[in-house]
Chains A and B, each alone.
Chain A
């Protein structure tokens, strides 16, 4: 067997590299790709899945009745957390009705960030419902746009109808530090949930 070029002494870390993933959900135009882009170490990439039957009778593209192939795209980025741990961030497709078709899209994810545009809260309702249905732990990130009005967090929490233990944080998805802070809020939330789960009864 020719192993030339595959033997790399002095780089043991690459051999043991592992990955974790976090999903970025939210309605169309809430800033999912912007957040992935601002915090990623690499230029964000797009990976695709083709769905060959699912669109039949369920596609709103009138006049394309014979369409048999639909492409669902995921924008993603990655962050190198240390020498042997990579964090992958996946922005979920805009068409939520396709989420369930993507084999295990949320399976194995540490959790999710649901981005909310406070000017149109309703656009993220579907994403929140989906996280609750699939039992994916999440935090809410209010992406503050220049013309966003200030709303008390409690008012927003009430409108989104989420459980009181779910953190709601404000962010600017264009800003790397701000996006990183949302990720930190998610991981802290996961740790707290885990600590509660581990408490003896």
Chain B
């Protein structure tokens, strides 16, 4: 029987390195990912997929925010963003950024604000 050992990597950095293949941040379309971006699966997981990718596809059958995904999977934002970038690139998920109150060039979105207000007043 082997004696109990102290974990060699208590910070989890080694695990993150393996998960992301050493990449520290997403590129391309995923660099705009926000904590409130909604992720929606476009395809079902397939056999042989990286476990975390599979997990993401399963959890995002209904739209789920990046923040919720991070909390459920126990992954920090920047690591999760790398995994999401892979899925985005492969066309397996859709990412919907939060709607801002101002649309570039089109001014404030009064209809959106009214929709938020009505929702709050119903609470």
Contact = CB atoms under 8 A, between A and B. Distances in A.
Interface of A: 1-6, 8, 14-15, 17-21, 39, 45-50, 52, 69, 71, 74, 76, 78-82, 85-88, 90, 102-105, 107-111, 137, 176, 180, 183-184, 187-188, 190-191, 193-195, 197-198
Interface string B35-61: 111101111101000000000000001
B89 interface: no
B70 A48 contact: yes
A75 to B, nearest CB: 10
A14 B67 contact: no
Contacts of A46: 71
Contact of A3 (B44, B67, B112): B44
A79 B70 contact: no
B111 to A, nearest CB: 10
Interface residues of B, number: 51
A2 B44 contact: yes
Contact of B76 (A48, A85, A90, A193): A48
Contact of B98 (A21, A74, A137): A21
Give the secondary structure class of B's interface: mixed
A138 to B, nearest CB: 12
B110 A191 contact: yes
Contacts of A88: 35-36, 65, 67, 98
Given A46-B71, A187-B113, A6 B41 contact: yes
Contacts of A103: 77
Contact of B36 (A69, A90, A193): A90
9 contacts: A2-B46, A15-B40, A19-B98, A45-B72, A76-B35, A78-B68, A87-B120, A90-B35, A184-B120
